[in-house]
Structure 1
Amino acid sequence: MDDLDRYIASRKSRDPKFAKEFEATRPEHEAALAIMKARIEAQMTQEELAERSGMRASNISRLESGRSVPTVRTLAQIAKGLGRRLKIEFV
Structure 2
Amino acid sequence: MTSYKDYKQRALQDPDFKAEYDKLQEEYDLIQELIDARKQQHLTQKELAMRTGITQADISRIEKGLRNPSLSTVKKMAQGLGKQIRLVPATKKVNL
TM over 0.5: yes
**Aligned pair 1:68/2:67, yes or no?**
yes
Higher helix share: 1
Q: Which has the higher contact order (CA 8 A, sep 6+)?
A: 1
AA aligned to 2:58 is N
Offset from partner CA, 1:27-71 (integer Å, 9 cap, x none): 232232122111101110000001101111001001100111122
Task: Report how many residues are paired.
Answer: 88
Structure 1 residue 76, shift from structure 2 partner: 1.2
**Secondary structure of residue in 1 paired with 2:83:** coil
TM-score by length of structure 1 reads 0.80
- Structure number with bigger Rg: 2
Distance change in 2, residues 1:89/1:4 (3 Å): farther
Query: Residues 89 and 41 of structure 1: is their aligned pair in 2 closer, same or farther, counting only changes over 3 Å?
Result: farther
For residue 47 of structure 1, what is the aligned residue in structure 2? 46
Question: 2:93 is matched with which residue?
Answer: none
RMSD of the TM alignment (CA)? 1.9
Residues 12 and 18 of structure 1 are in contact (CA less than 8 Å); yes or no, is this contact kept in structure 2?
yes
Give the counterpart letter for 2:53 in structure 1.
G
Identity %: 30
Correspondence 1:26 to 2:25: yes
User: Could you list the runs of 5+ residues in structure 1 that have no partner in the other structure?
Assistant: none
Residue 90 of structure 1: how far off its partner (Å): 4.8
